[in-house]
Structure 1
Amino acid sequence: MHDALGQIANAAERLGVDEQSVRDLRHRLSGMPLAYRAGYTTSAVQSALVRAAVAHDADCARRDCATCDGLRAGLTVALAGTRLMVDEELAEMFEAPVS
């Protein structure tokens, strides 16, 4: 966990993330119930990932691209998790098992 935090902090610093914005959002998140906080942060990260992927795809003409590889890996996780969540919600609505 500490390693992940360090990697995120380093990337954020390199890209100019405003530390005051981080503190403000952390304060707002701390007031949310844990389940809502997890959903909010996951949704926000997935949305940013999709925007970055679309913007990069429009600009990238390279056959082998580490950025495309990273975006593809992130989108794979996002798509699998979102599909599972939708399937589970539908199964709960209709009381059917998820396969």
Structure 2
Amino acid sequence: MFDEKTHRLLKALLDLCRGEEFYRSYRDLCIAARIAMLNVKGRGVKLRPSLLRLSELSDAKTAANLLNRFKKEIGAVADGAALKYAAVDYVYKRLAALI
């Protein structure tokens, strides 16, 4: 679905997110990368934090904020590809802002 460089970037970001310190500092990036790598196919995907199976309340709150941002871009019920592209777009914009 994504080109090879984007796929490698997301996998590297998810590897970094396994570290507790990095995850706490860049929780939104880690959750957006997880959304981008989700195996969601088809149309009619309802955007909700339970898609990610997050355990901590702060993670669910961050995911809800991200999904609300994506709802503004792609709508409340979207297809899997649009959701993934919105998440990748967020990751690229956030990384560009950090640089």
- TM-score, length of structure 1 as denominator length: 0.29
| Larger gyration radius, structure 1 or structure 2 | 1
Select the structure that is richer in helix: 1
- TM-score, length of structure 2 as denominator length: 0.29
